[in-house]
Structure formats: structure tokens, C-alpha cells
Amino acid sequence: MIITVKKSATEKELERLEKDLRGKGLQIHKSIGDEFNVWGLVGDTAHIDESKILAQRFVANVTRVSAPYKLANRMFHPLDTVVDVSGVKIGANEPVVVMGGPCSVEGDDQICRIGQEVKECGAQIIRGGAYKPRTSPYAFQGLGSEGIQDMVHAREKTGLPIVSELMSIDKLDEFVENVDLIQIGARNMQNFDLLKAVGKTNKPVLLKRGMSATIEDWIMSAEYIMASGNPNVIFCERGIRTFEKYTRNTLDLAVVPIIKEKTHLPIVIDPSHATGDWKYIEAVSMAAVAAGADGLIIEVHDHPSEAWSDGAQSLKPEKFKEVVDKCKLIAHAIGREM
């Protein structure tokens, strides 16, 4: 349920209404606007008589929310949320953010070198996998804690925040201590215990869409994180599984305006996993920026043919710079900075 409160309401009137609602076991999430304030009620509102609330002179409107997600719902929070990743702001009308780096951390020299290269090309965040979910149990699984420390070193050398994927709750403390943006991968999008665990931290979370997830499934996963107390969620579309085999996945670009209509949270696009082929990353990246995405996360490797994982979808640094430069033109054309 959503209550729209007039600015003319007195403090005493608001305190009385709030006390009554909390006494019925409801949580109240407040969003402050220029002309009205919005109160989002979370809990069992079935027994609430909205006509009695609407009878208050300072209440402008009462609306029941039919969608299963509440905290992520734009009706609860009309203004766009901006997520701050160690000084890099993502969402609303902030500049479009680029995250770049290798699929897998292959050592300290490698991630520090590529980290510096992507910074020079215009990236604001370094990406790199230390714990790797792989389809085959025989494929490279990542360097683990050593890889995380290599990422930390790359941050120290470049000054850029780092993003890496968390796969299990037992590694959460390590990520909270060392990682600026915690990625929840597609395979863990509905690992609800993991979602609740990151929800109990205040770390920004990059939530990738599951390969077979509907948009509502995806938003409900964000709701799990937010319901546990962490509002700092960024959606990441990386393509879904369809009958098409020409690309690694099928990029659902329409999800950008849909997420912005249904929620107040930022969304970034992963063209590397969406296409699986470096040749298509430029076109998909420009399309994503044109569609209104708040950022891009792109795999970059200086020797893709020798990469320990996903070399076929990795850009060389010089190509990465070309992509960033072209995307800047697109961003400028739609009235955004990059």
C-alpha cells in the first residue's frame, strides 16, 4: 500500500498516523518529494481500511500495490535511486559508467596491467573474476582469495573500485572487506540464502539476471536483498537462454526501459556474456547506451587468445577504447554524460 502525504501535514499528524500504522505491524518506507511525500507500507495490509486513511486531511491518495515486489517498486520510490560504489555513482542522470577487465584474474601483474589499461580507456570500475562458476568442473575455477588480493592491489595502483563475483555465503566476509561492488551471478540469482546474506550488508550489489529468469523473477530477487536491509542494488542484464544459437545468449534490450518503468533501481548491460563474441560488443554496447542503460560491464584482455577463460568475448584494450569513445557519442546524443 502507498500513502501520498501532502507537504502541509503537521509533525503531530504524521506522528499519529505513523504510530497507528506501525502498531498494526507494518514497516514504513518514506520517499521525500518536492510536492508530496510517499509512504510505502510493507506487511499485511489486507486488514487496513484505506478509506479511513484517506479521510485524513493531509493524505492526498492511497493506492494498493498489486505487484509482488514492494521496495523495488517505482510506486514506493518515485525518484531514481543512485548507487554509490566507492565514489562512482550509478543511476538516475549520473554519467554512464563503464566497468572493464578480464573474465578471470590470472595473477597480480595481469590484473594490475589490465586495470591500468582500462582506466586509461575510460573505465571507472575494474571487473575481474576470482571465484569462477564454470559449466565444466574441469575448467579453470579462479584463483580464489589470491585473486581477490590481486584485485585489491589493482585498486591500490589505479584508484578504481573493483567488482567481483561472490558464489557462496562462506566467502561473504572476504568480499565485504575487500570488494567495492559484489556481483551475484546469473546462476545464483535465485540463491535466496545468498541474497538475504548480502542484503544484511551495506555493500552495493550487482545482480545479474538468471539465464531463464523472467523480469519479475529478477525484480523479486532484488526484493530479497532490499527486504533484508540493503537498498544498494544494480540490475545487470547479460542475455537470456533462447532457441537462438548464433550468440552465446539472447540480449533482452527491452528490459532497460521496462526496469526503469517498474523500478527505481539502476541497470547496466553486459554485452560480453550476451553475445559471446567480441565482434558484436561494440554494436550492442552502443545500443544499450541508446536504450538508457546506466552502465556497461565489458571483458577486456590484452591477449584474448591466451585468456584462461572467455577469451572469445574479450576485447583488446585498443578496441575497448574505441567502444567507449563511440558510446560517449551515443550518450551525448541522448543527453547524458559518459
Residues 6 or more apart whose Cβ sits within 8 Å of residue 178:
148, 149, 151, 152, 162
pLDDT at residue 31 tops 90: no
pLDDT at residue 17 tops 80: yes
Flag the least confident range among 47-51, 86-90, 110-114, 248-252. Answer: 47-51
What is the model's pLDDT at position 289?
98
CA-only gyration radius of the chain, Å: 21
Amino acid (1-letter code) at residue 24? K
Tell me the C-alpha distance between 287 and 299, whole Å.
Answer: 17
Smallest CA-to-CA distance from 299 within 183, 138, 156 is with 183
Mean pLDDT of 36-61: 88
> Which set of grid coordinates corresponds to residue 121?
580507456
Sign of CA dihedral 54, 60, 65, 70: negative
Mean pLDDT of 154-179: 97
What is the model's pLDDT at position 299?
98
What is the model's pLDDT at position 66?
79
What is the model's pLDDT at position 29?
86
- Cβ proximity of 320 and 313 under 8 Å: no
In the chain, what is the greatest distance between 2 CA atoms, to the nearest angstrom?
69
Mean pLDDT of 208-216: 97
Tell me the C-alpha distance between 76 and 33, whole Å.
Answer: 12
pLDDT at residue 135 tops 80: no
What is the model's pLDDT at position 231?
96
What is the model's pLDDT at position 76?
87
What is the model's pLDDT at position 50?
87
pLDDT at residue 295 tops 90: yes
Mean pLDDT of 24-34: 85
Amino acid (1-letter code) at residue 313? Q
Tell me the C-alpha distance between 288 and 282, whole Å.
Answer: 10
Count of CB atoms situated within 10 Å of the CB of 248: 20
Helix/strand/coil for 4: strand
Model confidence at 233, in pLDDT bands (50, 70, 90)? very high
> Which set of grid coordinates corresponds to residue 22?
506501525
pLDDT at residue 134 tops 80: no
What is the model's pLDDT at position 330?
98
pLDDT at residue 286 tops 80: yes
Amino acid (1-letter code) at residue 308? W
What is the model's pLDDT at position 46?
81
Mean pLDDT of 311-318: 96
For residue 304, CA distances in Å to 73, 120, 248, 276, 330 come to: 40, 19, 17, 13, 27
Mean pLDDT of 306-334: 96
Helix/strand/coil for 131: coil
pLDDT at residue 34 tops 80: no
- Average predicted confidence (pLDDT) for the chain: 94
What is the model's pLDDT at position 321?
98
Residues 6 or more apart whose Cβ sits within 8 Å of residue 170:
none
Tell me the C-alpha distance between 147 and 158, whole Å.
Answer: 16
Helix/strand/coil for 137: coil
- Cβ proximity of 315 and 298 under 8 Å: yes
Mean pLDDT of 144-148: 96
Which carries the bigger pLDDT value, residue 265 or residue 63?
265
